[in-house]
Structure 1
Amino acid sequence: MNRHSRRRFYFFWLAGLMVLFFNVAWSQQNQIDSLKQVLHAVQDEAQKAEVMMALSREYVGLDYEKAFEFGKKAVAS
């Protein structure tokens, strides 16, 4: 592989990884938005706790403080 081909390979490899990570972050945000809507609609305390735990799990890789907050609220419910 010559130098130009190697650069092109690394460029496309890096671009592919960026697209992959963007898609994962986008899908996590959609899941979080959906769970928040469910949380506002649910009346049963046990179901609210389950939704808050799911939100906590979704936030673990994105925002540790929000993950902790939702987990704490779920346990308190």
Structure 2
Amino acid sequence: MSSFFRTISAFTSRCSSSSPFTKQLYGQTFGIIQPTLARGFKVRTSVKKLCNDCYVVRRKGKVYVYCKTNKKHKQRQG
């Protein structure tokens, strides 16, 4: 069991090296992956304007609602 902790401590000491290449390598391999934030559409059966800046667009047989001020208002009928 103590050999396991020695291996872990040796590994973590190598990860905390001051080399930028090492930090980049270990950061990509073992780091937490950050999701890219993108606001999608709310899919609803009936769409409606939620504020004065919302506007309705028809494309490819679907109705979309876009908003200039609040991106959370984006909707797609479907």
Alignment TM-score, normalising by the size of structure 1: 0.28
Alignment TM-score, normalising by the size of structure 2: 0.28
More strand by share: 2
Which entry has the higher C-alpha Rg, 1 or 2?
2
More helix by share: 1
